[in-house]
Amino acid sequence: MRHYDTVKRILVTGGAGFLGTHLCERLLKEGHDVLCVDNFYTGSKRNIAHLLDNPMFEIMRHDVTFPLYVEVDEIYNLACPAAPIHYQFDPVATTKVSVHGAINMLGLAKRVKAKILQASTSEVYGDPDIHPQPESYWGNVNPIGPRSCYDEGKRCAETLCYDYHRQHNLRIKVARIFNTYGPYMHVNDGRVVSNFIVQALRGEDITIYGDGSQTRSFCYCDDLIEGFIRLMNTSDDVTGPMNLGNPGEFTIKELAEIILEMVGSKSKLVFMPLPSDDPRQRKPDISFAKEKLDWAPQISLREGLMKTIDYFRNYLKENL
């Protein structure tokens, strides 16, 4: 680990993606030297264009399935397509980025003695039998289904983190992210919040898979990034895994109706068959995060949706 100055050099993999961009912005605001690594599979140069003039920001095109040789103090490993439409497009690549990517980033952290935060997911719980989901729940995951490349890839990445921690005394943090939304989401990522907002703004039918009774908990990106920073800054004995999400629970149909009302759209709800292995319910138990981080989401669904709607409204105007 470098000790010659007080400014941290921080690597963010997947740094040009949705959450990666917000994290880079936050770390720069705190005065850190940020290395953003992305292969631009789902990340976008447009997301981080406004950061390029900052002398403390550096962008590198790189695929984390290959080793990376840099000197850093901390690593946030966010590299992985997170939307089903993207991670199912090339499921072998998704598994590779989750597993090989974790091996390479953990190997880098071991070599330079850096602290590493692994971005995991609520999908490790699969279609849960316990509600809400605590970190102690081992999950109900189909290991051979169409979502398995992501679900099992992330579960394996968690395994690797803890094996490196036990075998090499590596300083690790594992964050399990529940549905997060906000500006910089990919306009075509197929995730429910961006899908509904874009369809409503365009006056297209709102596509709901299933009968809309399945539930999700939606966490605004700023709240999640705050959780990331606090988790990274905890003492070494706090490794996680830790749920980070908003325990407010809404049905998919409720979300669609709220967005239609906020946009003022006349779009109609259209119901389609439910995809295989789609979870019936999702809600984080965040007691652990409250205890260890003094963290809980501060931004309500409507407040976060308004900011996200404004982002997509401007994006669509600029990209007609």
Please give the positions annotated as active site.
Answer: 150
- H or E element: which one contains 282? none
Estimate to the nearest angstrom the gap between the alpha carbon of 127 and the chain centroid.
19
Distance, in Å, from the CA atom of 191 to the CA atom of 86, rounded to the nearest integer, reads 10
Other Cβ atoms within 10 Å of 119 Cβ, number:
25
Who contacts 317 (Cβ-Cβ below 8 Å, separation ≥6)? none
Dihedral sign, Cα of residue 296, residue 299, residue 300, residue 301: negative
Phi/psi of residue 289, nearest 5 degrees: -65, -40
Give the 3-state secondary structure of 138-175: CCECCCCCCCHHHHHHHHHHHHHHHHHHHHHCCCEEEE
Residues 292 and 234: their CA atoms lie apart, in Å, by: 8
Tokens 């308004």 belong to residue: 306
Surface-to-core class of residue 144, CB atoms within 10 Å of its CB (0-12 exposed, 13-18 middle, 19+ buried): exposed
d(CA 183, CA 291): 29
* Alpha helices, H only, the chain: 18-29, 45-48, 84-87, 91-112, 148-168, 192-202, 221-232, 252-263, 287-293, 301-318
CA 260, CA 254: separation in Å to the nearest integer?
10
